[in-house]
């Protein structure tokens, strides 16, 4: 394993996030390789760590003043052993090939855990939609899809949204795909509007699913969410719906954050005000504190993890919770940490939580609700039907319960009871590995 890690780092230089994601999985596979040596013989792990296809392309577009800009677009189609590539598109200045590869690698295992027959991929661009007009975002999306369309399809690769890609961007992308291909292929993108092929509960699914996974971890310890306090990072789609589900289940979400700092609200986050500020006005969380009144306080540039709470739900971006943050949370008595974002906790922080006996839900299990409902959207598109919200939410709850059970049972089977990281990694690996072995060396 150590030799393989070295080879992967040499083959993929200057991609620390990808190295981190691969190392985190490889470090947990020892028990399964000892029990199932056939997984190591045909170079299976080497193939699993190498994307099937990596696509990089130029995205030229004009702003409202007529100035031409050139961004870079990416799509990494990582593994299709279980089904068509499935994973979001991220529009953010930090996007590069290493970021997209780490996200695609994580997606392979996450999608396998859902049991819904989807492979793993990811994509995006270093384009920043923040501060851009709708017309500028539309022109960028049209240029992006002009190239991407040749690589995707409902039976090939099905993108969705991620950071910087919401309903507006999905609409523009789908419109351009339809225009170029002359096909109403609803299943080519998920996260669509509900009036034209989208699924109810899809916007809520990642946040809802993470809260449901957290509740399942607490139940294992004889507790529930009722009356618990929670710190939530972020103020985007995942964070907002995390707050919503926490509130519905009787917990009190105290915080939200963005790159400017964080807000602590002793009365609990006012969901409607947060939505108005972030989704309608596209403002900063400081504005929330100004309007909320005496119960809320804005801390510029602070770390949300310094706020004492029972539960921590990192829901913003990768590596946002480090070793010092973990130590602060543990000192303040945190019981459970569950990842709503993709790889938001550094390896050293994960180790601290596990040493301290904190229940820890890794992203590939805890935030799989979003892609699960995306797969359900694909199912609805294939049959040209639309399910009621109650059915979708029931299916989401079933998938998250199954994922929790699978991770718990797999961890126990391989001698690490309560270790959801090992359970998630091995369970996802086994499902992908079996399919790869059956399909030959390809």
Selecting among 86, 101, 110, 122, the annotated active-site residue is 122
Alpha-carbon distance of 442 to 310, in angstroms, equals: 47
The token duo for 144 is 């992006």
Alpha-carbon distance of 190 to 176, in angstroms, equals: 15
Q: Is 192 a catalytic residue?
A: no
Beta-bridged to residue 361, according to DSSP, are 338
CA 273 to chain centroid, in Å, comes to 25
For the chain, the residue count is 442
- Residue in this structure with the two tokens 């590596």, named with its chain if needed: 319
> Strand 296-300 vs strand 261-265: parallel, antiparallel, or unpaired?
antiparallel
- Supply the DSSP symbol for 186: G
Name the strands in the sheet holding 296-300, side by side, starting at the edge strand that comes first in the sequence. 255-258, 261-265, 296-300
Beta-bridged to residue 50, according to DSSP, are none
The token duo for 379 is 């199912």
Burial 317-333 (b: 16+ CB within 10 A, else e): bbbbbbeebbbbbbeee
- Nearest one of 196, 149, 167 to 381, comparing CA atoms: 196
Alpha-carbon distance of 156 to 189, in angstroms, equals: 11
Alpha-carbon distance of 311 to 16, in angstroms, equals: 28
Tell me if 400 sits within 8 A of 214, measured CB to CB. no
Provide the greatest CA pair distance for the chain: 63
Sign of CA dihedral 184, 190, 195, 199: positive
- Supply the DSSP symbol for 39: G
Catalytic residues: 122
């Amino acid at each position: 394993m150590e030799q393989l890690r070295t080879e992967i780092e040499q083959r993929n230089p200057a991609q620390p996030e990808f190295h981190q994601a691969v190392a985190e999985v490889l470090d947990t596979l020892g028990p399964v390789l000892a029990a199932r040596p056939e997984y190591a013989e045909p170079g299976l792990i080497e193939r699993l760590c190498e994307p099937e296809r990596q696509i990089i392309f130029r995205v030229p577009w004009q702003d409202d003043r007529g100035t031409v800009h050139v961004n870079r677009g990416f799509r990494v189609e990582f593994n299709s052993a279980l089904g068509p590539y499935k994973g979001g598109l991220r529009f953010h200045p930090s996007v590069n090939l290493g970021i997209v590869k780490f996200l695609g690698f994580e997606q392979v295992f996450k999608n396998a855990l859902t049991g819904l027959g989807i492979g793993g991929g990811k994509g995006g661009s270093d384009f920043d939609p923040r501060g851009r007009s709708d017309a500028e975002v539309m022109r960028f999306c049209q240029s992006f899809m002009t190239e991407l369309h040749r690589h995707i399809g409902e039976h090939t690769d099905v993108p969705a949204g991620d950071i910087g890609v919401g309903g507006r961007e999905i609409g523009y992308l789908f419109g351009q795909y339809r225009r170029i291909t002359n096909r109403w292929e609803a299943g080519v993108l998920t996260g669509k509007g509900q009036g034209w092929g989208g699924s109810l509960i899809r916007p809520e699914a990642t946040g809802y699913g993470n809260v449901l996974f957290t509740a399942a971890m607490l139940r294992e310890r004889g507790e529930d969410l009722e009356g618990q306090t929670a710190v939530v990072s972020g103020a985007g789609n995942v964070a907002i719906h995390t707050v919503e589900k926490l509130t519905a289940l009787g917990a009190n979400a105290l915080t939200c954050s963005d790159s400017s700092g964080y807000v602590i609200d002793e009365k609990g986050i006012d969901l409607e005000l947060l939505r108005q500020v972030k989704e309608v006005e596209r403002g900063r969380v400081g504005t929330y504190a100004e309007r909320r009144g005496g119960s809320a306080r804005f801390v510029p540039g602070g770390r949300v993890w310094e706020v004492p709470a029972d539960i921590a739900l990192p829901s913003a971006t990768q590596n946002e919770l480090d070793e010092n943050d973990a130590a602060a949370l543990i000192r303040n008595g945190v019981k459970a940490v569950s990842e709503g974002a993709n790889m938001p906790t550094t390896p050293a922080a994960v180790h601290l939580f596990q040493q301290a006996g904190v229940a820890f839900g890794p992203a590939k299990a805890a935030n799989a609700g979003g892609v699960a409902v995306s797969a359900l959207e694909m199912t609805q598109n294939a049959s040209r039907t639309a399910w009621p919200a109650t059915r979708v939410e029931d299916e989401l709850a079933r998938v998250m319960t199954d994922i929790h059970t699978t991770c718990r049972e797999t961890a126990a089977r391989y001698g690490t009871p309560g270790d959801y990281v090992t359970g998630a990694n091995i369970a996802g690996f086994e499902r992908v590995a079996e399919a790869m072995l059956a399909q030959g060396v390809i």
